[in-house]
């Protein structure tokens, strides 16, 4: 979307070897970059022709013909943006790759275009709090497909029974390893009258509004 709105200025920068104010670059960084940037009128002309044709589901292929895959996050609050990517990416495959945080890597996709990810069982020791009964704690073998759980981890870096704040949904099992989907961050609530509207609920509402307006 940024490219769609600002391509004339960006193309001019490529053509002239300049850095416009739209980049929000501080003067010291701009001075360093200007020493190595060179004009590229040929590339600028190629891009200008493609942008003038419009932004549709071929634009990624037209400006980056060797694009092989797009890596991104797809679940929870990121879901609407994944649909936006499709608007421009067309048939470029999407790899939803990994689900993790600074505390560790928790799960990985085992196929392109797959939104569910396999839990990485040797990354941490996992415990799970069912969101329909927070008095219980489950281990991997006790998870039920279709239910949501808050993740607790114990890892080799010293975190012991650490509440990540992430809530995941169990999709299914492959042998004894669960496929999971990220649902939302626990504690991100809109509570006007004590109803506890989650981040996931708000995302669903926004998505429905988008579909009605489309």
125-176 pLDDT per residue, tens: 999 999 999 999 999 999 999 999 999 999 888 889 999 888 999 999 998 8
Residues 6-12, mean pLDDT to the nearest whole number:
95
Confidence check: pLDDT of 191 > 80: no
* Per-residue pLDDT at 151: 93
Confidence check: pLDDT of 195 > 60: no
Residues 6+ apart with CB under 8 A from 67: 60, 61, 92
pLDDT band for position 71 (50/70/90)?
confident
Confidence check: pLDDT of 110 > 70: yes
Residues 6+ apart with CB under 8 A from 100: 106, 107
Averaged pLDDT score across all residues of the chain: 86
């Amino acid at each position: 979307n940024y490219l769609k709105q600002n391509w004339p200025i960006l193309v001019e920068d490529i053509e002239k070897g300049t850095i416009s104010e739209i980049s929000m670059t501080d003067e010291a960084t701009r001075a360093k970059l200007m020493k190595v940037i060179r004009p590229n009128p040929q590339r600028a002309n190629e891009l200008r022709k493609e942008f003038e044709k419009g932004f549709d589901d071929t634009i990624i292929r037209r400006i980056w013909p060797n694009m092989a895959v797009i890596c991104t996050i797809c679940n929870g609050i990121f879901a609407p943006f994944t649909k936006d990517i499709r608007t421009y990416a067309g048939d470029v495959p999407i790899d939803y790759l990994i689900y993790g945080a600074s505390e560790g890597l928790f799960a990985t996709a085992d196929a392109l275009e797959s939104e569910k990810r396999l839990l990485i069982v040797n990354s941490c020791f996992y415990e799970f709090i069912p969101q329909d009964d927070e008095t219980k704690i489950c281990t991997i073998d006790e998870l039920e497909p279709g239910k949501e759980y808050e993740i607790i981890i114990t890892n080799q870096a010293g975190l012991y029974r650490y509440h990540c704040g992430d809530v995941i949904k169990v999709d299914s099992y492959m042998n004894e390893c669960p496929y999971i989907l990220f649902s939302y961050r626990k504690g991100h609530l809109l509570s006007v009258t004590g109803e506890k509207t989650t981040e996931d609920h708000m995302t669903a509402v926004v998505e429905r509004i988008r579909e009605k307006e489309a």
